[in-house]
Amino acid sequence: MKIRLLCLGNKMPGWVTTGFLEYAGRLPAECRLELQEFDLPKRGKNPDIPRLMAQEAAMLSAALKGNERIIALDVTGKAWTTEQLSQQMQYWMFDGRDVALLIGGPDGLAPELLQRAEQRWSLSALTMPHPLVRIVVAEALYRAHTILINHPYHRA
């Protein structure tokens, strides 16, 4: 199974790339995590938010592959414990499809992407900066995977 993290925004600080790659690199080939970044549309002083969200949705939709399980990262989604995420990962692996995790822009994901998603995952009720979300997702997936293989990394 391949997990693709599709994110709006690029040109991240070095610490973001380092953190993401640290945890993504720990995952085995059968549970590979890849990052795909997209340019964030320019926002002026009085941005047309619906138009910008539609542009963002078009970019993310074009990158989706036919049979991927789509999971939207959204504050209104379900919050999973590490153990529940581990169960989700196990289900995803047994399902046999690749997974696309979607992270929207500053205004979130467009409604059409939220409707298209099979699941919605909330990392926290807190608002997090998008660069940090990449690292949190990578670490959470790595930690959940260690539970599946009985590795001592996760100590609950």
40 is in an annotated binding site: no
127 is in an annotated binding site: yes
Buried b (16+ CB within 10 A) or exposed e, 113-144: bbebbebbbebeeeeeebbebbbbbbbbbbbb
Angle (CA) 63-91-148 rounded to 5° is 110
104 marked as part of a ligand binding site = yes
Between the alpha carbon of residue 50 and those of residues 27, 105, 110, 154, the distances in Å are 37, 12, 8, 41
123 is in an annotated binding site: yes
Q: Is 73 annotated as a binding residue?
A: yes
Give the H/E segment covering residue 146: helix 130-148
86 is in an annotated binding site: no
Residues flagged as binding site = 73, 104, 123-128
Residues flagged as binding site for S-adenosyl-L-methionine = 73, 104, 123-128
